[in-house]
Amino acid sequence: MVKTEKIALLLWFASSGFTARADEAHKKQYEAFVRPMIENFCYKCHGPEKQKGDLNLRDHASYDSILKHPKLWSDVRKRVMGFEMPPEGSAAPMGGERQKLLQWLRKLPEPQLDCEEIASDRNTSFYRGSVMSRRLTRGEYENTVRDLTGLPSLSVAHLLPADAAGGEGFDTTGDTLFSTPLAVETYLQAAETIARTLLPDDLSSLSPEAQSARRQLLCAEPSDKLPPREAAKAILMRFLRLAFRRPVIEDDAAKFLALYDRGAARGDSHHASVRLALSGVLIAPAFLFLVEPEPAEPGVQPLGAYPLASRLAYFLWASMPDEELFAAAESRAILEDDNLRAQIRRMLQHPRAASLGERFASQWLELDRVGGEVRPDAKKFPEFTDDLAASMRREVTTYFNHLIRENRPLTELIDSDYTFADQRLAKLYGLEVQIGDAFEKVSFKTKDRGGLLGMAAISTSTSFPLRTSPVLRGKWVLEVILGEHVPPPPPDIPALKEEAVNSAANLREQLAEHRKNPDCSSCHNMMDPLGFGMESYDVLGRLRPDTDARGTLPNGRSFNGPAELKQVLMERKDQVLRHLMKKLTGYALGRELNRFDDCIIQEAMKAMQGSDYRPLGPLDAIVLSKPFRFRFYPKSEGAKEK
């Protein structure tokens, strides 16, 4: 067994539950203070004389019996955490004594997951999914404004602050989407820009697109039979329903009609007063946030039809529901499994579904940096331009969206014989095809291309400005594709000597020296070979067939070049696609995943493996899962704790 495999085995063994030493210490704690505590506080209801719920804890008094019934003791832990046991009015462990009991209970083996359960403050020590309502991301805001106004060319995202990634690495994570006073000012500026574009003072400045959007907005105009304020009210009632993504009543419009009244009172025209009211709508929390109202009862509760419609729309479209989805919410058909599946299929065929590539895949594959913070050296690579960077990114998103839309096997992310390219990429790849600026499907004659590894955006994003980097590329494959965690290098390890890296051979020699350091070898033995397999591509992703692209993995598996590296990844396709399902689930839920979400990933993998690894089944599994359709609502502040 090689050294790295021994290390991995030891790490697994150390983290896989009870070691003999830990088991013995846990047992001594049970005999010393847990067993007396249970006898003192629990036997009155669950002992030899009385068995509420047919539970006699005396039958499980031995430590061995406790280990054999993990589900029972998991339920005990949940009830103690929820102050449900001992019941109100009974003697109960307090303060440090209670915490000591909970710490002991948490160290018990976990039972097999119940996929009908979701995380809550009863069954996890800290629930990371309890963000009640999250703000729209900058990309979602832009898409929503586009679909709300009917103005595809209207761009205001640049006015808003950038969003941070969190959770599973996506900007949809609720606990990172906070607001600040400065951010509110930028949203006000964006709202005013949108409203003025729709209702400018100078109508001659309107483009044909804006004229059409304006006519759609002004669904009522003042007349002899319709006073200006009533016309404004009609406009607001229609606009609010779309902007708030739910039915509205007259009370919803009242505060925005007050803005209309303010404008009219100071002498503004009817349309200018409407514009002021619309600006107010566009900075309202019900527009800026995906609101999931708190139900009457706390605990695990299903989402209502309209919040579910919005959650589905922002997962698949990164935008608001359309009229058909609104209708499914209004009839409550969306709450039925078959109708929900039908909506998924319809929505994936809609142009808005391009957001899965543009928002999800770009963040998962770390492509947003290409052309921004990641730029090849301008002197050495003058071919690299902003237009080429955009083409590089678009190849990946177009390819990913093709797989989703056509329900193609997701294994084609690893290996295929085609891609989508425009004239810039066709020239870069040396393809003898005549295509224009539009992206078209093109085929490859060599196995060195095809799949993500052969795409220019990947080569560029995993390179330094002046040269390729087997380390960066290997780390990218390990973390982004295989889902392995690579720890940061020790702080006292010197970097490679760049001045000595004048050839691929010298780079190999330096990395070989690097791996002699035991602090470096465990990671570099895994990363470097994978990165060497991608050395057939230069910084821009062009093939350089004479480069040494051999690699040998710690298990002895050897390969040469990207075609054989793809074979290695195909042998681990379940690991690759399980990681993809994890990322997709985190993106859909908008939070960091927890152990209860493993059920979603298991169901997604089962659906994928049963359908030649096609995406439709896994997407069904995510959307129809309990964590997607239900929420845990904590007890309101001030509620009596039991």
Residue 534 has φ and ψ, to the nearest 5°, of -100, 5
What confidence score (pLDDT) does residue 127 get?
47
pTM: 0.81
What confidence score (pLDDT) does residue 417 get?
95
What confidence score (pLDDT) does residue 11 get?
40
The closest of 143, 147, 140, 332 to 247, measured between CA atoms, is 332
Report pLDDT digits (tens) over 460-505: 999 999 999 999 999 999 999 999 888 777 666 666 555 545 555 6
Percent of the chain predicted with pLDDT > 90 = 58
Going through 384-439 in order, the beta strands assigned E by DSSP cover 418-421
Q: Look at residue 404 and tell me whether its pLDDT is greater than 90.
A: yes
For residue 325 the two structure tokens come to 């989805």
In this predicted structure, which of 85-94, 204-213, 258-267, 389-398 has the lowest mean pLDDT? Answer: 85-94
**269-270-272-278 Cα dihedral, nearest 10 degrees:** 160
Q: Once rounded to an integer, what is the mean pLDDT over residues 321-329?
A: 97
Report pLDDT digits (tens) over 451-469: 999 999 999 999 999 999 9
Distance CA 636, CA 293 (A): 13
Report pLDDT digits (tens) over 408-443: 999 999 999 999 999 999 999 999 888 988 999 999
Distance CA 63, CA 616 (A): 46
Report pLDDT digits (tens) over 362-378: 999 999 899 999 999 99
- 537 SS3 class: strand
What confidence score (pLDDT) does residue 522 get?
65
Q: Look at residue 642 and tell me whether its pLDDT is greater than 60.
A: no
What confidence score (pLDDT) does residue 381 get?
96
What confidence score (pLDDT) does residue 639 get?
40
E strand or H helix at 558? strand 558-560
Q: Once rounded to an integer, what is the mean pLDDT over residues 565-574?
A: 94
Q: Once rounded to an integer, what is the mean pLDDT over residues 588-615?
A: 92
What confidence score (pLDDT) does residue 550 get?
92
Q: Is the peptide bond before 152 cis (omega within 30 degrees of 0)?
A: no
- Of residues 639 and 414, more confidence is placed in 414
The closest of 327, 453, 449, 347 to 401, measured between CA atoms, is 347
In this predicted structure, which of 55-64, 224-233, 567-576, 591-600 has the lowest mean pLDDT? Answer: 55-64
What confidence score (pLDDT) does residue 128 get?
46
What confidence score (pLDDT) does residue 492 get?
64
What confidence score (pLDDT) does residue 553 get?
85
What confidence score (pLDDT) does residue 73 get?
76
- Of residues 82 and 175, more confidence is placed in 175
Give me the sign of the Cα torsion angle 383, 384, 386, 391.
Answer: positive
Q: Are the CB atoms for 344 and 620 separated by under 8 Å?
A: yes
**17-21-22-26 Cα dihedral, nearest 10 degrees:** 130
| Chain centre to alpha carbon of residue 208 | 37
Report pLDDT digits (tens) over 105-126: 878 876 666 676 676 655 554 4
Report pLDDT digits (tens) over 16-67: 444 455 578 888 888 888 888 888 888 888 888 888 878 888 887 788 888 8
For tokens 């509420």, the residue is 52
How would residue 88 be classed by pLDDT, with cut points 50, 70 and 90? low
Angle between helical axes of 616-623 and 598-609 (0-180°, round to 10): 150
What confidence score (pLDDT) does residue 30 get?
81
What confidence score (pLDDT) does residue 299 get?
77
- Of residues 7 and 398, more confidence is placed in 398
As a whole number, the mean pLDDT across the chain is 86
What confidence score (pLDDT) does residue 36 get?
85
The closest of 472, 517, 461 to 492, measured between CA atoms, is 517
How would residue 596 be classed by pLDDT, with cut points 50, 70 and 90? confident
Burial of 490 (C-beta count, 10 Å sphere; 0-12/13-18/19+): exposed
The closest of 41, 44, 43 to 92, measured between CA atoms, is 41
Q: Look at residue 3 and tell me whether its pLDDT is greater than 50.
A: no
